[in-house]
Structure 1
Amino acid sequence: MKKIYINARFLTQTITGVQRYAIELVKSLDALMDKGEVNINHYSFVLLAPRNIKNELHLKWIPLKYVGCLKGHLWEQLELPLYAHNGLLVNLCNVGPLLVRNQVLTIHDVFSIEYPHWVGRNFHHWYSFLLPRLAQRVRKILTVSEYSKRRIVEVLGVPSQKVQVVYNGIDNDFKPVDAKALQAVRQKYDLPDKFILTLGSLEPRKNLDGLVKAWLMMPVEYRKPLVIAGGLGARQVFGKYEIEFIKEKGLKLLGYVSDEDLPALYATAEVFVYVPFVEGFGLPPVEALACGARVVTSNTSAMLETCQGLAVLVNPTDIESISRGIVEALQTRLSLNEKLSQSEKIKKRFNWMHTAQQVQEVLERYI
């Protein structure tokens, strides 16, 4: 029987967008097998992982196999090839081993090469060395948006036909929620009656500083409290500001928010704002749209594909543009039917099972 090996190094890492993509995709491939949509008599999947995993997947059909003794890049580059030589290797998180030719690679973006000031010198040098060589060697590259495909082709110098776009999905839990769930999340986090929501991140490209400046310059009658979800401390976020002054203006830091609470948090906000300078896909605004939220996001990179026609699009480099966009969103409330319609449009387009089906079709061509 033919083997498809999945590089499971992502199970050793903190869960961010890239790791979440890998986890959801593997879970959906397992679900396809359970529904009989994968011919398990012709080939099988195996997760190959180092021994230091900290996240577990509870799968029915795809086994997890611990291999090697090393960790991190050393495990990936030196030991993983030894155990994947007799099958097709699938790498879901931007990188894979240079020693393996028979592999399919998902590259989410090439920011580590394009924007060295955002990622650090060592990270930039390693990816600038690895990614162009790896992109030439692998049999197929998957990516998550047309924007990322264009950047991969230009930056890594690979032919366009070698790169296929397969959009991310969103979890089924992201949908308009009932009044009971909304009230529960309001009480749990002591939320104000009306507020503007964003997800906090210290990554410079996420542009949290620009959002705060835009919020501060909003007309007083529209400047609802700004609620920042995410495990960030006040001094991390607002080192440039007088913290007490900002809090007096109506800022609230929620700290860590569980995945279970996110749908209700999106749905109860007056507006969700997410204005990064650039994104390979941009999952948060898509999730918020699926929950029926009014969304303000950037008019750049992948958000033009994922959110156009449903969100208010603004220039993330223009503070006034962000401020005006938030005011516009606050002035246009959605009815329940409009929220349900918006959610349905998003979930039809971005579905993990559909993503898994497309990836499976690609893998079957290269087994």
Structure 2
Amino acid sequence: MENKIFVDAHAFDGEYQGTLTYLKELYLKIIQINPAIKIYFGANNVKNVKKHFGKFNNVEFIQYNSKHSLKRIFIEIPKIIDALECTHAHFQYVIPFIKNKKCKYIVTIHDILFNDFSNEFSFLYRIKRNFLFRLTAKRCDFLLTVSNYSKQKISEQYKIDTDNIMVTPNAISEDYFEFNHTKVESRNYINSKYGISNYILYVSRIEPRKNQVLLLNTFLNEKLWLKGYQLALIGSNTLKSGLLESIDKLEMEVRKSIHWIEQVDDSDLKQFLNGAEIFVYPSKAEGFGIPPLEAGALFTPVLCSNVTAMVDFDFFKPYFFNPDNKIEFDKLFLEIIENKEKINLEEIHDIIKVRYSWEQSARVLLEKVLKA
């Protein structure tokens, strides 16, 4: 029987985030390995999905009628699956209440960090997601996650045998390893387009658990702007953490050295990552943590948190720190600035290339779920 898989691609409707990258890279690789599989992508912003998958003959696009998430997942999508007679359907975090008995339901729960770091999330946020995620994890046919850390936490907190959870790790797109701009070219581009130079970079959403405040405070306390450095923060201000308001209150001399950009496209993101003096990732909690790997793939020095799923990124040692230890962070931050030329960036690049490949994740889905 021909595999016909429906993919809920509503992640392409909003801000750029890890879920979008996961779906894009995973299915690009699946199509490359087995172009015979029929894939239907459902989204409100079909145009955005077509930018990545429009050239493939085995792909079709379904325009959602509803913009309301609950109506989409619980009413509209079940009707689409029935009409298309899909053999499989892939969702992120939540599956519909009503299941088609002829269709196998796949879900990727990327993380349940809201339980381990409950003080970072509201009570209602945690209650709603725990109810939906636990129900989904029990009812789906195939449960996926993106790291061993998340696998263990989902198993412990939702009482699911680890043998019933498959890991399809996030990885790094091949075009990061094929990027052909020099550091000088990227720095000139960023300076010309954004007016930013000699910058320390952070990439991810602005919210408390991402811990940008640690980076900002050290930048300010060490008066790095007086040493010619600038700070670039790229990411949407999702939870209104107050970080940006704090920056706005700084004196103009300091404030002009700190730049927040809500979102950049893929091409400019690579230029930013490639041109950075160093990349700093002080997050307290990640279900995976792609940005430091992308920076490392581009031979940029990385100072990275060593907790939750990021514990696996030990190749960044000695610039690998506990985000709750400010003294350790301050010491390593100043050290990496002084010693960045001594880091074996080629070795880090090579480890990331071997260890984080989308083909590995695609084959888990193809061989264990789709059995293609």
Fold conserved between structures, TM > 0.5: yes
Residue 17 of structure 1 pairs with residue 18 of structure 2: yes
Cα–Cα, structure 1 residues 246 and 206, in superposed 2: closer, same or farther, change >3 Å? farther
Query: Normalising by the residue count of structure 1, what TM-score does the alignment of the two structures yield?
Result: 0.85
Q: Which amino acid aligns with 2:303?
A: V
> Where does structure 2 lack aligned partners over 5 or more consecutive residues?
none
Deviation of 1:129 after TM superposition, in Å, equals: 1.2
How many Å apart are 1:196 and its aligned residue? 1.6
Count of aligned residue pairs for this structure pair: 355
Q: Contact between 2:207 and 2:237, CA under 8 Å: does it hold in 1?
A: no
Identify the match of residue 201 of structure 1 among 199, 205, 219: 205
Q: Tell me the percent identity.
A: 23
- Tell which deviates more after alignment, 222-231 or 24-33: 222-231
Please tell me the residue identity of whatever aligns with 2:17.
T
Residues 241 and 82 (structure 1), Cα distance of their counterparts in 2 relative to 1, 3 Å cut: closer
Give the C-alpha shift of residue 135 in structure 1.
Answer: 0.6
Q: Deviations over 1:322-346 (max 9, x none)?
A: 211211212322469x433322221
The answer on whether the counterparts of 2:206 and 2:235 sit within 8 Å (CA) in structure 1 is: no
Corresponding residue of 2:301: 294
Deviates more, 1:123-132 or 1:296-305: 123-132
Q: Distance in 2 between matches of 1:245 and 1:319?
A: 24
Listed as ranges, the matches of 1:75-90 within 5 Å are 75-84=72-81, 86-90=85-89
After superposition, the CA RMSD in angstroms is: 3.0
Query: Are 1:124 and 2:126 an aligned pair?
Result: yes
CA–CA distance in 2 between the matches of 1:110 and 1:235?
Answer: 20
Deviations 1:34-57 (A, max 9, x none): 4xxxxx3xxx33325255646222
Matches of 1:333 and 1:241, distance apart in 2? 27
> Which of residues 191, 214, 222 in structure 2 aligns to 1:210?
214
Q: Among residues 230, 233, 246, which one is paired with 1:228 in the alignment?
A: 233
Q: Give 2:93's aligned residue.
A: 94
CA distance in 1, matches of 2:16, 2:236: 13
1:270 Cα shift?
Answer: 1.9
C-alpha offsets along residues 138-179 of structure 1, whole Å, 9 cap, x if unaligned? 122111111111111111111110111121121223246323
Unaligned 5+ runs, structure 1: 35-39
Q: Deviations over 1:22-75 (max 9, x none)?
A: 1222222222234xxxxx3xxx33325255646222241222234666742222
- Residue identity in the other structure for 1:180: E
Using the alignment, how far apart are the partners of 1:116 and 1:80 within structure 2?
A: 31
The one-letter amino acid paired with 1:298 is S
Structure 1 distance, partners of 2:310, 2:336, is 17
Q: Do the aligned partners of 2:200 and 2:277 also contact (CA within 8 Å) in 1?
A: yes
In 2: Cα distance, 1:15 partner to 1:257 partner: 9
Contact 1:271 1:326 in 2 (8 A): no
> Residue 274 of structure 1: CA displacement?
0.8
Q: Which has the higher helix share?
A: 2
Residue in structure 1 matched with residue 42 of structure 2 by the alignment: 49
**More displaced stretch, 169-178 vs 261-270:** 169-178
Counterpart CA distance in 2 for 1:77 and 1:237 is: 36
Which segment drifts farther, 260-269 or 147-156?
260-269
